[in-house]
Amino acid sequence: MEDCIFCKIIAGEIPSDKVYEDEDMLVFRDIAPQAKVHCLCVPKPHFAALSEMDGAQAETLKRCLEKIPAVAQKLGLADGYRLIVNQGKNAGQTVFHLHIHILGGQPLGEKFV
């Protein structure tokens, strides 16, 4: 996708602090971390949001979710972590290539689930 910052990161056109990569996904550190550990798990196929996901993309997302626990282990998140997907305007989504925030490395607030 032209003009998608996460597609450019996946393509290596924009640098990122990568922590894991395979055929389905890239995990890299968020540029503006909101916890001691804050990474983004980005499925490689471009789709803007959950509301735009087709069946093949859902299969990719399933595999991403299956692999996140091992990535979290590698990130030192054995004490727990929080996954967040922002969907659309009211959630404050700013990058319209679906991504899963992985937050941890500290006790997280009890508000917002």
Q: How many residues bind ligand 5GP (CB under 6 A)?
A: 14
Q: Is 99 a catalytic residue?
A: yes
CA distance 43 to 60: 7
Single out the residue of 28, 31, 35, 16 nearest to residue 80, CA to CA. 35
Strand partners for 42: 26
CA distance 101 to 93: 11
Single-letter amino acid code for the residue at 98: L
Span of 1-9, 25-33, 71-79, 81-89 interacting with Zn ion by CB under 5 A: 1-9
Tokens standing for residue 4: 């998608």
Single-letter amino acid code for the residue at 72: A
| Interface map 13-32 toward Zn ion (x if CB under 5 A) | --------------------
Span of 46-54, 57-65, 75-83, 89-97 interacting with ligand 5GP by CB under 6 A: 89-97
CB of 18 to ligand 5GP, least distance (A): 10
Interface residue list for ligand 5GP (CB under 6 A): 5, 14, 16, 28-32, 40, 86, 92-95
Active site residues: 99
